[in-house]
Amino acid sequence: MLSELHRLSSFLFVVTEPSRVHTVEKVMAKFKTQVMDRINSFQPGVVHGDINEQNILLSIDSTQSPREQFSILDFGDSQHSRLIFDLAIAITYMVLQTRDLDTGGYVLAGYNKVRKVPYNELNVLQICIMARLCQSLVLGLYTYQEQGSSNPYVLGTQDAGWNLLDTLESYQTKDLIMKWTQIGRDLDTFDEQE
């Protein structure tokens, strides 16, 4: 739950590199001021809370219509929260899966077809993604180190996750949002040509 990011400080002892600890602390501070201090300005709703590649089933059957069917699994983290958090979580894991920052633009474009993301939420999307990355990275390390997990999934995002966090930190929010919204405009232009 992104709204519980402040609790992450209790688990930072598992991160051994001081620069990474500093990065997580910066993200936590920004998230508090940019998101949590203005939480009531973001649209509330029921969210899945853990949209990732492990929780999406896709079936492609060329003999049936529609040809693609999908399902979402694992509603254990569902809750009443802010809709922008679900979008941020989905983008986080889709970008990690593809290792391509442009994927965020495709996810945003698809999401915008169903729910137009308000400007104030677009402005916090980057920090929400970074916050989810921090949760995933730190809690993954904690689970692995402190609980003796033998599950490789727990550490699966470590290298790519820290790299993505560094990449996101290097972007100005307006530049990242411009990059992603341009992908959406390009897709709309493509759709009009068909």
The single residue of 37, 50, 74, 175 carrying the catalytic annotation is: 50
Inter-axis angle of helices 103-114 and 173-193, nearest 10: 70
Question: Helix-strand-coil percent breakdown of the chain, rounded to 5?
Answer: 70, 10, 20
**Is the Cα dihedral 96, 102, 108, 110 positive or negative?**
negative
Q: What are the backbone angles phi and psi of residue 169, rounded to the nearest 5°?
A: -65, -30
Contact 49, 79 (CB under 8 A): yes
Beta-bridge mates of residue 45: 81
Residue 100 appears among annotated catalytic residues: no
Residues with a known catalytic role: 50
